[in-house]
Amino acid sequence: MVTIKALWRDGKTPQAQAANVGRIDDELLLLRDGRQYRYRLADIRLEAGVADLPDTVQLPDGGTLEVADRIAIRRLIGGLSWGDRSGHWLQQSWRALAGLALLAIAALWLGYRHLLPLAAGALAPLVPVAVEQALADSTLQWLDQSGAIGPSRHGEARRARRARLQQQLQVLLPDSRYRYRLLLRDAAVIGPNAFALPGGTIVVTDQLLALIQRNDELLVLPVSLANADYSRAHEREADRFAYARLRAHGLSPCLLGYSLQRIEAATHPQTTDDENSPGSWFASHPDTSARSQPDGVRCPPLPD
């Protein structure tokens, strides 16, 4: 009979005792103190040692065997459990590690690209509108305090225009669960811009309002924003949404391109190259010329 050297401990005292382990049929044979002990294989549990640590055999009476010769004990008892074996394989094989690392990078990328938007889409409707509005209010307050934006400097006429825009926005987006709120703010630092806060709050800067005189052109920006929840990378999708809304109300999808071109012309009076200065509307947005041709439609040149 093959015997393997082991260290036996009773689990109650710290002393270890040298022992020998063998197997007869479906029983484990333990030889120590010149005596024989038998355990049914079904009652014992083999625990694989992590990395370079010895294996441990858990005996049903609370005793343990520490076995340094891991290959021998695993062969004797009939192998590790499936989980232990795969864990061991993963720890030992560089190829497995390399494959897993690639898989992990792919998982991270897929999660960022697809799972995050999916989760955002699923979770966003679950957040009460009141909570979103509270969040928007605190963000707005913070922005006001930071000095990045200030109260609008515009007079009565512009305020009337704001009310009209807000109304039109609600009409353009009839299925929305929000009551849209369009706010005007003076933002010399930011320039002509518009941004969406949670809960249907849309902030339009005075600078943008001054730049775009036509209401229908101005309106497309908030419509596009209303659908861009989580990432600018998804702006193309938001654009498509805006085009569809415009078409549904008998408006030209070219309007989005027009308003973007006006902003670009204003922020880059000398359009010598395609480089954008940091902080401008365009720094992290898709290319304006591409966005000016909705779904392959050729738009007439920018009207004055």
Partner 1 sequence: MNQRDHHPAPPGGKYVLPFAFTATTRAYYRLWLVNVVLTIVTLGIYSAWAKVRTQKYLLGHTTLDGGRFDYHGKPIAILKGRLIMLLALAAWTFSESLPLLHAAIALLAIAAAPWLGVQALRFRLANTSWNQMRFRFSGSSADSYKAFAKSWALLILSLGLAWPWATQIKQRFIAGHSTLGQARLQLQPCAGALYRAALGSTLAAICYLLGAGIIGGIIWQVATLSGFAHGIAVQFGRAALTQLDIVFFSMLAALWTMATLGYARMAISRVLINHTTLQLATLEARLVWSLPTRQMLGLHFSNTLALLLSLGLAWPWIRIRTLRLQLQSLSLLSSSDLSALPLHTPLNRQDDARGDELAELMALDLGW
By CB under 8 A, is residue 108 in contact with partner 1? yes
By CB under 8 A, is residue 35 in contact with partner 1? no
By CB under 8 A, is residue 120 in contact with partner 1? no
By CB under 8 A, is residue 10 in contact with partner 1? yes
By CB under 8 A, is residue 122 in contact with partner 1? no
Taking the least distance from each CB to partner 1, the nearer of 97 and 188 is 97
By CB under 8 A, is residue 15 in contact with partner 1? yes
By CB under 8 A, is residue 97 in contact with partner 1? yes
Decide: helix, strand or coil at residue 298: coil
CA distance 62 to 70: 21
Among 11, 60, 78, 151, binds partner 1 (CB under 8 A): 11
Rounded to the nearest 5 percent, the helix, strand and coil shares of the chain are: 50, 20, 35
Cβ of residue 300: shortest distance to partner 1, in angstroms? Answer: 36
Cβ of residue 51: shortest distance to partner 1, in angstroms? Answer: 5
Stretch that binds partner 1, among 129-137, 150-158, 253-261, 282-290 (CB under 8 A): 129-137
- Binders of partner 1 among 224-283, rule CB under 8 A? 277-279
Bridge partner list, 182: 202
By CB under 8 A, is residue 156 in contact with partner 1? no
Kindly determine how many residues on this chain lie close enough to bind partner 1 according to the rule CB under 8 A: 34
CA distance 263 to 258: 9
Q: How far is CA 173 from CA 136, 218, 219, 249, in A?
A: 20, 15, 11, 10
By CB under 8 A, is residue 183 in contact with partner 1? no
Among 104, 116, 124, 210, binds partner 1 (CB under 8 A): 104
SS3 assignment for 52-106: CCCEEEECCCCCEEEECCHHHHHHHHCCCCHHHHHHHHHHHCHHHHHHHHHHHHH
Which two tokens mark 151?
């109260």
Taking the least distance from each CB to partner 1, the nearer of 10 and 186 is 10
Would you give the DSSP letter of residue 29? E
By CB under 8 A, is residue 60 in contact with partner 1? no
Q: Which amino acid is it at 21?
A: V
Stretch that binds partner 1, among 2-10, 148-156, 178-186, 207-215 (CB under 8 A): 2-10
Neighbour-count burial for 37-64, b at 16+ CB within 10 Å, e otherwise: bebeeeebebebbeeeebbbbebeeebb
Stretch that binds partner 1, among 84-92, 150-158, 168-176, 206-214 (CB under 8 A): 84-92
Q: How far is CA 181 from CA 39, 200, 212, in A?
A: 76, 6, 19
Return the residue matching tokens 């999808």: 253
By CB under 8 A, is residue 71 in contact with partner 1? no
Residues near partner 1 (CB under 8 A) are 7, 9-16, 49-53, 56, 64, 66, 87, 90-91, 97, 100-101, 103-104, 107-108, 131, 134-135, 138, 277-279
